[in-house]
Structure 1
Amino acid sequence: MSPYYSARRLKLYLQRTIKLLLVFGLLFTAFYTGAAAEAASSSELLVVNKQTNKLAYFSGGKLVRTFSVATGKTTSLTPEGSFPIVVKIKNRPYYKENIPGGDPTNPLGDRWLGLEVNGTKGTTYAIHGNNNESSIGKYVSAGCIRMHNEDIHWLYPLIAKNTKVVITSTTLDMEQIAVKNGYPLGSKMFAASLIINGVSTRLKDSFVLDHSRVFIPLRESVALLGGTLQQDDRTGALIITIGKYKVTHQALSSTAVVNGKSVTMLPSRSENNRLLIPLGSLPELFGIQVKWNPQAESVTILN
């Protein structure tokens, strides 16, 4: 084989190899970019409740902000369901009346987050600004969701394409709507009440909501239930007595001993140097039946 022929074969081989590497590089970049965009959008959620004309922005498993909005003149005009944002436009013209984008008289404002609804590809239904701030909070649109211009200016840069928007009409609060639609919530601290024999007491220590599970402050709750709480000097375990139930529990663990019998429970948790126990464990630990009211943020003791 001649040296010329060998060199030519090597050159062709190198050219093919470089082309393959370039193709794989482009495919990897496209995959990575798409995966990153999907991950970013999946950590965010927008919820529109037509019953209250409010829009909620969730990010990183938490409710970040709630805004007043305007929706359709009739209940059917603003569609209900789950829709992705597929178009983001600044200064979109109002084609119907030939009003340029960014014009103060443009009823779309200067920010447009277009929704994919029944094949409309983000051109028909959107979350957008307005040219009439007094309309926000009312039922006035042809189907879109209007926001105060200042509010959508804040929201617009935070929202990625493919972010899910849930539109509904319900008495549920925003976090309940999010959970119902598969959005995993992180923890939230809030003030709540314990209702015993019809008497409601607002606790000084905060409750915690974590992935739809409620945790209540242990010390205050035990005192209101007429129980006692002590600590074993040797092991550090807590000894809680309520009525005929004696419970021994090591803080932050997932077990307890109830009247001498070991039971499994959700782990207790510590917030601001206060120990909280899962509300759902009260029946097994203390024989107490409870009812959680998320709207009133209260726990009723049923027996």
Structure 2
Amino acid sequence: MGKRLAVLLLTVLISVTLAGPAFAGVQIVIDKSTNRLQYWKDGILVKSFPIATGRDPSYTPEGLFKIVVKVVNPYYARKNIPGGSQQNPLGCRWLGLSIGGGGIYGIHGTNNPASIGTYASAGCIRMHNRDVIWLYDHTPLGTPVKIIRSHGVPEPRPKPQSVTIVVNGNKIPATIPVAPAGDGTPLLPLRTVFNALGYTLAWDGAASTIQVSKPGVNISIACVTGKVKVGPIEFTAKELTMVNGTTYAPGSLWQKALPSLQVLWNPQQRTVTFTSQPAAG
């Protein structure tokens, strides 16, 4: 009995010794095979995010690393693009890894969310901007990051689909990104729809916002946070995203920002209809 108890205690001691460092605090696991990033805390999987990794398997190194630097609105030195710009391929956050001396590779946002889930980068790990903001806020410096390749098979990504946008009777063909809005309706090109409604758009680089206006109406849309302001009205367009330089938004953005506008989605005909309603007399 004493021998069995001793063996049991030794087994428990070995298990605790091996598991302790791996399950204490925060740990990030990146799987190149499935293009997923897992956020673990105290041995519990808290979040799992889709990511993009290297175009070639060798581009994103495998191994155990650490977060060594964190930057808000990182500057893209290669093409001299300032932080916060819509053209910045690093998105709104940078978490640098201890690879090759540190800071060369990182986990960052993107201005090309359609690439998420694919093998598209030069070695870094891309995330949706909304996801990398969460990761940035919850990841301390020194957090261990394990990059592996489990040899799983990534799910195939559907191709972008076409829709017809009808604005006050005028038809506008458009191609939409893969991801739909949260209610299942398609994301729509922001500039195309607003221009068809008679609005002009301007980019405010200092505030990272799109200014939409026409006589009597001014709308401010923050690209990083999705905050939309129309006079005293303020709300968040959570699915606001950018694909290949074009900003897309859910139909609910226009419905909330312009209450006199009716927005209808016909999934059978793949048609989104915008109709201006007459003001009450």
- TM-score category by the smaller chain? 0.3 to 0.5
Write 1 or 2 for the structure with the bigger share of helix. 1
Answer with 1 or 2: which has the greater Rg: 1
Q: Give TM-score scaled by structure 2 length.
A: 0.45
Q: Give TM-score scaled by structure 1 length.
A: 0.42
Higher relative contact order (CA 8 A, sep 6+): 2
